[in-house]
């Protein structure tokens, strides 16, 4: 029985998804308004908008939305 030839080496390169960070920015006129930043990590780290609260994936900070924000 001939041995199975198993190719070794680099796996085929897959393109990584591009960062969607820019989608968090809204441009209103000359101002760039941002969604929430993490108060712990500082500007640049966005809080994830999830089920009525904001959540930081970096430091696991979470912040509950105010009632006014829930209405939107």
Q: Which residues bind Zn ion (CB under 5 A)?
A: 38, 40-41, 56, 58-59, 61
Q: Are 35 and 47 in contact (CB under 8 A)?
A: yes
For Zn ion, the closer CB: 26 or 58: 58
Q: Residue 3 or 54: which CB sits closer to Zn ion?
A: 54
What is the smallest separation between the CB atom of 70 and Zn ion, expressed in angstroms? 22
Distances, alpha carbon 2 to alpha carbons 5, 18, 41, in Å: 9, 44, 58
Residue closer to Zn ion, measured from CB, 41 or 48: 41
Gap between the Cα atoms of 36 and 25, Å rounded:
10
């Amino acid at each position: 029985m001939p041995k199975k030839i198993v190719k070794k080496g680099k796996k085929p390169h897959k393109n990584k998804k591009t960062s969607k960070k820019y989608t968090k920015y809204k441009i209103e006129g000359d101002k760039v308004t941002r969604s929430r930043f993490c108060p712990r990590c500082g500007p640049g780290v966005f809080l994830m908008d999830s089920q009525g609260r904001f959540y930081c994936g970096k430091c696991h900070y979470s912040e509950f939305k105010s009632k006014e924000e829930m209405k939107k």
